[in-house]
């Protein structure tokens, strides 16, 4: 079974327009790489361009050579980091050129998820403590039985 292996950017090679070729080559070029401060600033500038318009994540991803998921994740990360540094929702919304409601929903989801993780962790800790207490009780009972025999 011979499967033809196609280069990821084969269609870019076949195009005649060099600017389009360069754009297509850049698509996902930065996948998996850490974000630089320059890229973050470029992302913020692009968010500014879309201010009061529908955000086009696909277009931003292509321009930055990132996946759409990578763009969304970085926006969420920037929102959370700014909030943790003490910025309020209005300031974050203005600085990142995002709707207040969007920023609020990102933070709401983040803290709900974090509280679920914390709750599960505490529940597991409580179970462990109860098991240790039960173990201590059983040991004491065993010692008492051994003394009496």
pLDDT tens track for 118-137: 777 777 888 888 888 889 88
Distance between CA atoms of residues 101 and 9, nearest Å = 38
Residue that is written with structure tokens 């995002």 in the block = 98
Q: Is residue 37 part of a domain?
A: yes
Q: Is residue 5 part of a domain?
A: no
Query: Among residues 56, 58, 22, 61, which one has the least CA distance to residue 42?
Result: 61
The pLDDT of residue 13 is above 80? no
Q: Is residue 82 part of a domain?
A: yes
Q: What is the pLDDT of residue 18?
A: 54
Q: What is the mean pLDDT of residues 90-102?
A: 93
Q: Is residue 2 part of a domain?
A: no
**20 lies in which domain range?**
10-148
Tokens describing residue 56: 């086009």
pLDDT tens track for 32-50: 789 999 999 999 999 998 8
């Amino acid at each position: 079974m011979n499967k033809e292996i196609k280069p990821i950017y084969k269609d870019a090679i076949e195009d005649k327009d060099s600017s389009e070729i360069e754009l297509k080559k850049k698509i996902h070029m930065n996948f998996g790489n850490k974000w630089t401060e320059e890229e973050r600033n470029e992302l913020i500038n692009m968010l500014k361009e879309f201010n009061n318009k529908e955000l086009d994540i696909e277009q931003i991803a292509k321009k930055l050579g990132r996946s759409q998921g990578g763009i969304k994740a970085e926006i969420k990360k920037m929102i959370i980091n700014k909030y943790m540094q003490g910025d309020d929702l209005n300031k974050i919304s203005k600085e990142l050129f995002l709707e207040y409601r969007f920023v609020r929903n990102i933070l709401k989801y983040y803290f709900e998820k974090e509280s679920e993780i914390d709750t599960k962790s505490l529940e597991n800790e409580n179970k462990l403590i109860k098991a240790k207490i039960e173990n201590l009780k059983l040991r004491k009972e065993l010692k008492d039985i051994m003394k009496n025999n």
